Structure 1
């Protein structure tokens, strides 16, 4: 909860006051037009970094914007005794467009394994979180806690899920999009944090991604596993903090994962 409150305090101090108050000088393209960074991303991460340096002085800090400035940080994550991985504003494109669908996220990694994950929603002012082996929880600032569980399995034709096709192989994208006609509904919120929140709250049967930056997925994967879901890279192997490619598919159970991998996300 100390780490959860650090995320909340930073988002409320830096991200919310700037929401829908950015001008063009405060928004910048990082790698392409759909990959943005704003003044709020940097300011929010700086607050989190400073607070974590005091609270967990021995932890390696791996923030999305810190890695943009020093890519070598990312290579240290796999071997760190203790690390905190942070996305100050997940869904920056939504945030910059004035859409209230963004999150502040953190994961704690120890010796190459994710041991805790937190996704904070600044607009709803609550967290979904998990510690390894302790279940997945929705927590509110008043102390209320609700245990989370993924949805029941449905036939493929009735499944609802979320996937980002933007980073899937171009030569496979058309086939994957055609394959998604086999499920009932496919969505993309442009915010992994809220897609994971939706999944672990029992409102979908799957999520799928191809680009695997750790700040986008470490919190959500652990929370999903603690909520009873099955997660693996698209080759069937375990997803680890050191992975940045290879695709990622989560489903409500292993049988659903196998069916989705075979019928929809075969690339």
Structure 2
């Protein structure tokens, strides 16, 4: 199978919820000493919940879509070669972040999410972010708009905020922690020009805020596909404007160049100029 049918989005949403119910929430605030490991740093963690949820989701995807490719964050951590050329295929590719916001999850903070995107022919065609705590989803298929789906089945359209008109009237999230100097200090300092800022350490929840019209922009330096493909598609389908920091389109193949998502092109340009002002 090389495309999605109307029932597949419902099935994918249910799969993410099942992973939350069976593998994630039973371990939330219930992790043992050996259940949390460092990857690249003390802020880059993996837990038994990440590993088991990804394993469960991957198995179910390959059973339903046996000709597909599955790219999971933890699988790539074990075998980075999985990223070689993965997006340039006409087969469906599913990209999974089993727990986005693992630092929060491991710390007992209820700001994390399960993220899944679907890629075909180098384009993101669908994205879902599931909140296992709130038990709801934000979802989009390319060209179909973005929605919030509640547990009882009610749905409502997502829409980015109205343009604020000036940076000092904007609330946003700028993830500068992984930037090299002097960019790191410059962006961190210049974010003070904004009306307000949020820093959830969780792209799943930060993209939710911008898609729902609660903040005006999100900025990230590190581009791993599981962190951003679902959220950027959702932002665009909610009416927002997404580009890499050089102004080019963000595509699944990109692993660098940063990404900025804002309410509209004018706001994107204002934020890009303000945060990089010397």
What is the TM-score of this pair, normalised by structure 1?
Answer: 0.98
Matching residue of 1:16: 25
User: Do the aligned partners of 2:136 and 2:148 also contact (CA within 8 Å) in 1?
Assistant: yes
User: Do the aligned partners of 2:170 and 2:216 also contact (CA within 8 Å) in 1?
Assistant: yes
Matching residue of 2:214: 203
Matching residue of 1:89: 99
User: Do the aligned partners of 1:77 and 1:241 also contact (CA within 8 Å) in 2?
Assistant: no
User: Do the aligned partners of 1:60 and 1:80 also contact (CA within 8 Å) in 2?
Assistant: no
Residue 79 of structure 1 aligns to a residue whose secondary structure is: coil
CA apart distance, 1:169? 1.6
CA apart distance, 1:9? 0.4
* Distance (Å, rounded) in 2 between the aligned partners of 1:181 and 1:198: 19
Q: Deviations over 1:86-141 (max 9, x none)?
A: 00000000000000111001000001100000000000000001000000000123
User: Do the aligned partners of 2:137 and 2:148 also contact (CA within 8 Å) in 1?
Assistant: yes
Residue 138 of structure 2 aligns to a residue whose secondary structure is: strand
| Count of residues in Structure 1 that have an aligned counterpart in Structure 2 | 267
Structure 2: which 5+ residue stretches go unaligned? 1-9
1:263 aligns with 2:274: yes
* Distance (Å, rounded) in 1 between the aligned partners of 2:80 and 2:214: 36
Matching residue of 2:137: 127
Stretch deviating more after TM superposition (72-81 or 239-248): 72-81
User: Do the aligned partners of 1:199 and 1:224 also contact (CA within 8 Å) in 2?
Assistant: yes
1:217 aligns with 2:225: no
1:26 aligns with 2:51: no
- What is the aligned counterpart of 2:157 among 141, 147, 159? 147
Q: CA RMSD in A?
A: 1.1
Residue 208 of structure 2 aligns to a residue whose secondary structure is: helix
**What aligned pairs does 1:1-267 form with structure 2 within 5 A after superposition?**
1-81=10-90, 82-154=92-164, 155-265=166-276
CA apart distance, 1:69? 1.3
CA apart distance, 1:78? 2.1
